[in-house]
């Protein structure tokens, strides 16, 4: 899971170098639609065991 998140952030960083602001569009989409996978990811990150 950690490596998958790192890979996704790495790809977004590489795409951000281009002329299209990917991060802002992605964050607006997450805020507007609140996808289930994002909520589950946050739960996994902040889960206290």
pLDDT digits (tens, 9 = 90+) for 5-45: 788 888 888 877 877 788 888 888 888 898 998 889 889 88
- Cβ(12)–Cβ(24) under 8 Å? no
Burial class (CB in 10 A: 0-12, 13-18, 19+), 33: exposed
What was the pLDDT predicted at 36? 92
Count other C-beta atoms under 10 Å from residue 19's C-beta. 5
Closest CA to 25 of 42, 12, 43, 41: 12
Is residue 1's pLDDT more than 80?
Answer: no
Is residue 2's pLDDT more than 80?
Answer: no
What was the pLDDT predicted at 14? 80
What residue ranges do the domains of the chain occupy? Answer: 2-46
């Amino acid at each position: 899971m950690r490596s998958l998140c790192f890979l996704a952030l790495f790809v977004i960083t590489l795409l951000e170098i281009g002329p299209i602001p990917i991060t802002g569009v992605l964050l607006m989409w997450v805020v507007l639609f609140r996808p289930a996978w994002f909520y589950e990811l946050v739960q996994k990150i902040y889960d206290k065991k």
